[in-house]
């Protein structure tokens, strides 16, 4: 297997081999899951197989995380430049882009041409949406890079889930405002994922639109012009979804609505668990303190990290947003989720279980130590939470 050699400051030579090198191709293959269900349905005639990817996502993935456990290995800093430059890793992020389109087309074709029961039809639309939600993850990895080619690929892949505003919203909005009450993409203590979704989805779009409008105004252009990068991606979404409607008829209307909502729901789920309750404090000058490693929840679980381009090493991502996925690092004593993302999502979907598991973890963090004034709390739950923990509101 390919290795990287470097010399430590003390003169010692080191050789690093990325044991996950080939396993990263899981992030590329994962979005093709709808075809697994389609193939088994075609082979057996049993429509229930179409729901297999739901089982893989919500049951097998958390189980795999539990079974395979965690990986705390980091590449030595001395080889990171070589690792970042290794084109194999970025090739995977390019290769997955067309697969997201193919997966949507395949699922739409099957839903539009087979005589499916209503539940199989809905299930297939949700499965397709989950796959396209991973497209937001692909767009996330690509959209953080400087090269125009990679940013353009981000805009293209984000057209699949109709979320073209994401890379502007995420890079320029979320990274700036993360873990503050101003951020629609950071969840608050006591805020259920369902309440969060209703704040996050419109809030993220509005923030992206405002950022792009500012940029275009500085350039003397209208926000309603072809220079608007959000509209560029949305135009491609329109072509794709209109094309599917023309090809497969009115059935595509419910199919695409469900697909889009469930794609967005994947991002909502990730955003919800990534910064729950964490708060950057205000400094004397009125600005929020810089984002620190303890302002993100992390997970080192192997399986879910392999299908999400290492997204769960989230503190390092916020400290160094341009760092490529293969180089993201684990650090000791960071806020840690009880499981990988897929298992954490399941907890989040049942709010009382989520609060039970996470509020305790949140308040036990070394920088909080039970002090509610250092927590991002849902304003509607503020009084209740302060009373519950016997503290006076600041």
Partner 1 sequence: MSEFKCPECGYVFSEEKGDEHEGYSPGTTFESLPEDFVCPDCSVQYKEDFEPA
**Two tokens, residue 55:** 């089982």
Q: Which is nearer to partner 1, 51 or 168 (CB)?
A: 168
Choose among 313, 351, 320, 353: nearest CA to 335: 313
Closer Cβ to partner 1, 2 or 287, answer by number: 287
Least Å distance between CB 117 and partner 1? 47
Residue with smaller CB distance to partner 1, 171 or 339: 171
Closest to partner 1 by CB, 42 vs 322, is 322
Which residue number, 179 or 241, has a Cβ lying nearer to partner 1? 179
Nearest approach in angstroms of CB 215 to partner 1 is 5
- Residue 219 CB, shortest distance to partner 1, in Å, is 4
Contacts by 50-59 with C-beta closer than 8 Å and gap 24+? 50/110, 50/116, 50/120, 50/123, 50/124, 50/127, 51/120, 51/123, 51/127, 53/127, 53/130, 53/131, 54/123, 54/126, 54/127, 54/130, 57/33, 57/130, 57/342, 58/342, 58/345, 58/346
Helix residue ranges per DSSP H, 45-86: 52-55, 61-68, 80-85
Q: Which is nearer to partner 1, 41 or 207 (CB)?
A: 207
Rounded CA gap, 234 and 158, in Å? 9
Which residues contribute to the site for partner 1 (CB under 8 A)? 146, 171-172, 175-176, 215-220, 287, 290-291, 318-322
Q: Is the dihedral of CA 286, 189, 269, 265 positive or negative?
A: negative
**Structure-token match 């290769």, residue found:** 95
Task: Quote the least distance from Cβ 177 to partner 1, whole Å.
Answer: 10
Give me the half-sphere count of Cα atoms (radius 13 Å) on the Cβ side of residue 145.
20
Listed residue (140, 149, 176, 183) closest to 311, CA to CA: 140
Could you tell me the smallest distance in angstroms from the CB atom of residue 152 to partner 1?
Answer: 13
Least distance CB 97 / partner 1 (angstroms): 21
- The least CB distance from residue 291 to partner 1, in Å, is 6
CA distance 288 to 23: 39
As measured in angstroms, the least distance from the Cβ of 322 to partner 1 is 5
- Closer residue to partner 1, CB minimum distance, 147 or 257: 147
Q: How many CB atoms lie within 10 A of CB 34?
A: 26
Q: Which is nearer to partner 1, 217 or 387 (CB)?
A: 217
Nearest to residue 80, comparing CAs of 18, 149, 10?
18
């Amino acid at each position: 297997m390919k290795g990287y050699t470097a010399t430590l400051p003390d003169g010692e030579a080191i050789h690093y081999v990325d044991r996950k090198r080939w396993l990263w191709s899981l992030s590329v293959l994962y979005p093709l899951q709808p075809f697994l269900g389609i193939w088994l349905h075609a082979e057996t005639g049993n429509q229930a197989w179409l729901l297999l990817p739901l089982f893989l996502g919500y049951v097998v993935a958390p189980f795999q995380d539990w079974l395979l456990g965690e990986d705390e290995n980091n590449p030595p800093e001395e080889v990171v430049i070589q690792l970042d430059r290794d084109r194999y890793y970025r090739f995977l992020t390019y290769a997955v882009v067309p697969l997201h389109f193919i997966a949507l087309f395949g699922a739409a074709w099957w839903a539009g041409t087979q005589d499916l029961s209503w539940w199989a039809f809905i299930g297939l639309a949700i499965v397709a949406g989950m796959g396209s939600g991973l497209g937001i993850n692909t767009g996330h990895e690509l959209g953080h890079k400087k090269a125009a080619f990679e940013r353009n690929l981000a805009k293209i892949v984000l057209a699949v889930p109709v979320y073209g505003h994401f890379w502007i919203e995420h890079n320029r909005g979320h990274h700036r405002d993360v873990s503050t009450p101003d951020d629609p993409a950071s969840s608050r203590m006591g805020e259920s994922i369902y309440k969060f979704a209703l704040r996050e989805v419109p809030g993220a779009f509005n923030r992206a639109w405002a950022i792009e409008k500012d940029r275009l105004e500085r350039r003397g252009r209208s926000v309603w012009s072809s220079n608007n990068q959000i509209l560029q991606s949305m135009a491609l979404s329109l072509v794709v979804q209109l094309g599917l409607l023309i090809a497969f008829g009115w059935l595509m209307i419910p199919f695409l609505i469900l697909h889009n909502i469930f794609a967005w729901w994947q991002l909502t789920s990730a955003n919800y668990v990534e910064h729950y309750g964490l708060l950057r404090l205000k400094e004397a000058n009125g600005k929020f303190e810089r984002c620190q490693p303890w302002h993100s929840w992390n997970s080192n679980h192997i399986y879910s990290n392999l299908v999400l381009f290492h997204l769960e090493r989230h503190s390092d991502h916020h400290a160094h947003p341009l760092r490529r996925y293969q180089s993201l690092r684990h650090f000791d004593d960071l806020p840690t989720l009880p499981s990988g993302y897929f298992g954490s999502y399941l907890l989040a979907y049942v709010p009382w279980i989520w609060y039970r598991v996470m509020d305790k973890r949140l308040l036990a963090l070394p920088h909080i130590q039970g002090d509610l004034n250092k927590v991002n709390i849902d304003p509607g739950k503020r009084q209740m939470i302060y009373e519950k923990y016997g503290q006076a509101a600041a």
